[in-house]
Structure 1
Amino acid sequence: MTKSLKQLRRDAKALRKAHQAGELRATQRIANYPPRPEGTALKYADYLHVIARENSFPSWPALKLAADMIGMDLAAKRQRLKLALYNGQFGVADQLLADTPDLAEGDLALCLGLYLRPQVLQILEEAPERATQLIGFRAPPLTILARSKWIHHKPERAGDMLAIADALLAHDADLDLGAPVYDGTDYTLSLLYFAIGHANNMPLGQWLLEKGANPNDGESLYHATELGHHAGLEMLLAHGADPKGTNALLRAMDFHDTTAVQMLLDHGAQVDEFDGSHVGGEAPWVVPALHQAARRMCGADMIDRLLRNGADPERRFEGTTPYAYARVFGNQALTRTLAARGVDTTLTEIETLLAAAAEGATGARISDPAAIPVAYRNIIRMILHIPRKLDHVRSLVALGVAPDLPDTEGLTPVQVAGWEGLPEVMAYLLTQKPDLTHMNSYGGTLLSTILHGAENCPQRAERDYIGCLQLALQEGVLLPRRAIDLAGGDDIVEFLSDWAERHPEQVV
């Protein structure tokens, strides 16, 4: 970044003017980093906040302080390197360090993220209190260490990483003090989650557990099922993690991981779990295991395992039976198993129509889509990522199921298809004219959701994110220049840069 603070202030004033004039691009920029609740009048300081967030700083004061201390260019490079370490963008990190070899000098967060043991120890020797002082997005130093994915690029520095952890602990670092998942929220994730669930850093996860970190943090066990291996799950369970109340069993079923499911069952996971947060009235239940098996298209081995561990073939969820769920979602293995057990096979009129759509029938139409039970209302969003389900999606749309309905997280089907990296599914959903300006509950647009999936979707290695980006941009979705700067994969950066050069009118 070569802009001065003076120019950035001018940018904030220009943004304010454009936003007050109702310009679409300005409105989208504000929506990407909302400084206040929607409908609240914005002040000049709010526009400065947006400018700071667009430049990867948590706030305008943070940007200004960094620029005053070390200059704008160096501050911007350091902030970009911090994001690269957090997201595992090793090509970006290598380039920044090659261009400016001393980039981390004097910056505790970067020294932690790069496992620079001598520098960290020197900083702590000179100022021991820094071991517990919050950094950046309200993160303690030990969490900065845990959030870095550098271990996968420089595994030979694992010893330095653990030595840094020992030094921080010796200076009173708190093993259970985490950090907000992103700026602007009070929702805090644990240090253990960042090590195991976010960074997939097994050596640091093991160190934390051996030093006494709490394995029952509500997140780590759940996300350990997403790693593609069982090391994190095994170490958490060995140190007393309790699967009850975590949804880890259901998440393992998302990946058809019978090994993980059995590990969790062996440690007390319940197949039909009561939501203990409910007080009074009829007790709600977390999604029962057989309903989850139905909608995730689990096969006979998983189904048999669940039944042997007490899954109730008659347990209702949101008014639906496991059999009806299996028919509606098209899980024939579960349908046959339950029918053979003599369960109630009654379907409502709408369930009969939905089941017919799952079986490929077309021509029928639900007269009132609002009458579709809550249990099935988001069925398109729930199945679109499952292999060979596109024809089923088409049948549901033909039946009258809404193709653009946001889920409880504000994600629409087209956004989910983009996050999953499924251009064929996304192309079909785009023919249904979804709202391309929709912002989900995380503040994500269609474009940013695709980019987030390219960095975080567990199956990202085999998915096509450039295909999804191309579809979105062909529909006229705006391309923030910052999206190019923050993208991690070289192929994605090259594609977006090329698009920006050929379509400058689309760049904001």
Structure 2
Amino acid sequence: MPVHRLPDGHGVERFRKRAKTLLRHVRAEVPEALGLVAEFHPRPPRALRLSDAQLVTARMYGFASWPRLREHLATVERYSRSPHLVGPSPEEPEEFLRLACLTYGADHPGRTGETGPLAARRPWLRTANVFTMAATGSADALAAALAADPGAARAQGGPFGWEPLLYLTYARLDTPGEYVRAARLLLAHGADPNAGYLWDGLPSPFTALTGALGGGEGDQPAHPRGLELARLLLEAGADPNDGQALYNLGLGGSFSDDTVHLRLLLEFGLGRGEGGPWHARLGPALPSPRQMLRDELATAALRGGPRRARLLLAHGAEVDGLGGHPAYGGRTPRELALLNGHTEIAEILAAAGASAELDETEAFIAACMRADAGAVAGFGPEPLARALVRSPGLIGEAAGGRRPAAVRLLAGLGFDVNHLRRSTPLHTAAWNDDVETARTLVELGADPSIRDTEHDATPLGWAEHGGRHRVAAYLRDLG
């Protein structure tokens, strides 16, 4: 029986109200409510009580009982942090840490650089407390502090209520520190290698490993000693099935076919085991290790990573396994590769026995995305007409995949080069720092003055905000 996705950021009172609403609808004989009871109650009673409605509500979201759901929500509340919402502090050590660390919501370029002048004026901040010692990699001072108080290695504090290990792995400072030595000291004194928090209550934990590897929707940088710290954490017992780290370097943010982080995680057991302590805490809210491998292969197919695809297949990824994120659309990896013009990956998957079923319009779209003008011409006008209705933003997808030849072909077929949903294709090329695609779009009539619907910014604004210097220079030259 398919379960519903647990809504993000809601406490137990929200679910109590849902159970009461369900009870009320069942008593009113609303068909949808009766269907839920039939599907999710193990022994539907003749007269539903509130406890039955609570059981159905829990099972709808993958929990065996109402107490299990309440326990999960209490766990989410316990570990929830919102570092991006923490405002400036008059306490200088707190303010130093607030500016020094990635928060995944307020990480505009140059923000962590603001710590430089502050530290220059107040050099004592580096060793003000165990949290600043960790963030700055001040290993000698940290060794003395931990010798005096070993429990400080697991203390929670600072502006974000984090443990020292999190301040260390999320810090992004220009001045070098002895970060690996400092991390060893913390781990030797009992720091949890699986330390983490739930960003704004979302169920995917941002762990110390996540912080070390970086990445994400803002293309946050890795820690300057990121891979060394990641290996140290894994050797100390960090679980390699880290869904947020995988998302940050895969589906989220800009994509590269680099496999270094995947090789490291696979070496320590990615895709195997029970999922570690976070899976024990959060249960059905997190994907299984096996599902994480499916998601990674789907990401490689969707975004164009042949090296990743080969590596994942060599480590047992299911060739037709479906990714769980809505971005995959319930497609097999080979279908995703075909629909996004990634011919090499489609061939790799086909050689491994992958399947794909595309209707005529989808096959037409696949030909467009691989810029196969001959194949496109062979379809005739009807698939084009259907594609224009079904996928009006196809040029944006081609731009996001860095496919200028496909952009040119699609524009010639009548797809709108300025199609605006959340943003335009030129916004996408600007965020990718993709000058070739941006130039192609402009030559085809893309308007660089159009503003996106979320931030009210032009493509140049996106490029400047994201530090995309090459495409920013090109767009400025347009005047």
Is residue 105–residue 111 contact of structure 1 (8 Å, CA) maintained in 2?
A: yes
Is residue 94–residue 159 contact of structure 2 (8 Å, CA) maintained in 1?
A: no
Is residue 245 of structure 1 aligned with residue 291 of structure 2?
A: yes
**One-letter identity of the residue aligned with 1:205:** A
Is residue 290–residue 311 contact of structure 1 (8 Å, CA) maintained in 2?
A: yes
Aligned partner of 1:405 in structure 2 is: 421
- How does 1:466-477 map onto structure 2 within 5 Å? 466-468=473-475
Aligned partner of 2:341 in structure 1 is: 297
Stretches of structure 1 that go unaligned for 5 or more consecutive residues are 1-55, 279-283, 337-344, 356-365, 367-371, 455-459, 475-508
Aligned partner of 1:32 in structure 2 is: none
Following superposition, the deviation at residue 213 of structure 1 comes to 1.3
- Hey, what's the Cα distance between the residues in 1 that align with 2:175 and 2:119? 14
- Hey, what's the Cα distance between the residues in 2 that align with 1:320 and 1:205? 46
Evaluate the alpha carbon distance shift between residue 437 and residue 285 of structure 1 in structure 2; reply closer, same or farther with a 3 A threshold: closer
**One-letter identity of the residue aligned with 1:174:** D
Aligned partner of 1:236 in structure 2 is: 265
Local SS of the residue matching 2:240: coil
Following superposition, the deviation at residue 176 of structure 1 comes to 2.5
Aligned mate of 1:288, from 329, 332, 339: 332
Aligned mate of 1:115, from 137, 156, 165: 137
Following superposition, the deviation at residue 307 of structure 1 comes to 0.5
Q: TM-score, normalised by structure 1?
A: 0.57
Aligned partner of 2:164 in structure 1 is: 141
Is residue 351 of structure 1 aligned with residue 383 of structure 2?
A: yes
- How does 1:211-360 map onto structure 2 within 5 Å? 211-224=236-249, 226=255, 229-242=258-271, 244-246=290-292, 247-253=295-301, 256-275=304-323, 286-299=330-343, 301-313=344-356, 315-316=357-358, 323-332=363-372, 350-353=382-385
Residues 320-354 of structure 1 show CA distances to partners (whole Å, capped at 9, x for unaligned) of 67633322324439969xxxxxxxx9969553348
Evaluate the alpha carbon distance shift between residue 330 and residue 353 of structure 1 in structure 2; reply closer, same or farther with a 3 A threshold: farther
**One-letter identity of the residue aligned with 2:368:** V
Following superposition, the deviation at residue 233 of structure 1 comes to 1.3
- Hey, what's the Cα distance between the residues in 2 that align with 1:184 and 1:468? 38
Following superposition, the deviation at residue 116 of structure 1 comes to 0.8
Following superposition, the deviation at residue 139 of structure 1 comes to 3.4
Local SS of the residue matching 1:306: helix
Is residue 222–residue 251 contact of structure 1 (8 Å, CA) maintained in 2?
A: no
Following superposition, the deviation at residue 107 of structure 1 comes to 4.6
Is residue 192 of structure 1 aligned with residue 192 of structure 2?
A: no
Q: TM-score, normalised by structure 2?
A: 0.60
**One-letter identity of the residue aligned with 1:245:** Q
- How does 1:396-475 map onto structure 2 within 5 Å? 398-399=414-415, 403-406=419-422, 411-421=423-433, 422=435, 423-424=438-439, 427=442, 431-432=446-447, 436=451, 438-439=453-454, 449-451=462-464, 453-454=466-467, 463-468=470-475
**One-letter identity of the residue aligned with 1:179:** Y
Aligned partner of 2:29 in structure 1 is: none
- How does 1:470-489 map onto structure 2 within 5 Å? none
Following superposition, the deviation at residue 194 of structure 1 comes to 1.9
Aligned partner of 2:195 in structure 1 is: 177
Stretches of structure 2 that go unaligned for 5 or more consecutive residues are 1-82, 216-221, 272-288
Evaluate the alpha carbon distance shift between residue 232 and residue 381 of structure 1 in structure 2; reply closer, same or farther with a 3 A threshold: same
Residues 31-73 of structure 1 show CA distances to partners (whole Å, capped at 9, x for unaligned) of xxxxxxxxxxxxxxxxxxxxxxxxx98435xx3xx31x44xxx
Following superposition, the deviation at residue 404 of structure 1 comes to 0.5
Evaluate the alpha carbon distance shift between residue 451 and residue 124 of structure 1 in structure 2; reply closer, same or farther with a 3 A threshold: farther
Residues 244-276 of structure 1 show CA distances to partners (whole Å, capped at 9, x for unaligned) of 433322433466543321110111223332356
Evaluate the alpha carbon distance shift between residue 277 and residue 305 of structure 1 in structure 2; reply closer, same or farther with a 3 A threshold: closer
Is residue 234–residue 268 contact of structure 2 (8 Å, CA) maintained in 1?
A: yes
**One-letter identity of the residue aligned with 1:323:** A
Is residue 302–residue 340 contact of structure 2 (8 Å, CA) maintained in 1?
A: yes
Residues 87-142 of structure 1 show CA distances to partners (whole Å, capped at 9, x for unaligned) of 89687665654555434230544322221112233444455346330443443321
- Hey, what's the Cα distance between the residues in 1 that align with 2:143 and 2:113? 27
Please tell me the root mean square deviation across aligned C-alpha atoms, in Å.
4.4
State the identity %: 21
Is residue 420–residue 453 contact of structure 1 (8 Å, CA) maintained in 2?
A: no
- Hey, what's the Cα distance between the residues in 1 that align with 2:126 and 2:96? 10
Q: How many residues align?
A: 356
Evaluate the alpha carbon distance shift between residue 274 and residue 320 of structure 1 in structure 2; reply closer, same or farther with a 3 A threshold: farther
- Hey, what's the Cα distance between the residues in 1 that align with 2:461 and 2:164? 28
- Hey, what's the Cα distance between the residues in 1 that align with 2:361 and 2:123? 62
**One-letter identity of the residue aligned with 1:239:** F
Residues 299-336 of structure 1 show CA distances to partners (whole Å, capped at 9, x for unaligned) of 4x4332110112214x24xx667633322324439969
Evaluate the alpha carbon distance shift between residue 286 and residue 265 of structure 1 in structure 2; reply closer, same or farther with a 3 A threshold: farther
- Hey, what's the Cα distance between the residues in 1 that align with 2:415 and 2:441? 19
Evaluate the alpha carbon distance shift between residue 244 and residue 401 of structure 1 in structure 2; reply closer, same or farther with a 3 A threshold: farther
**One-letter identity of the residue aligned with 2:212:** A
**One-letter identity of the residue aligned with 1:209:** L
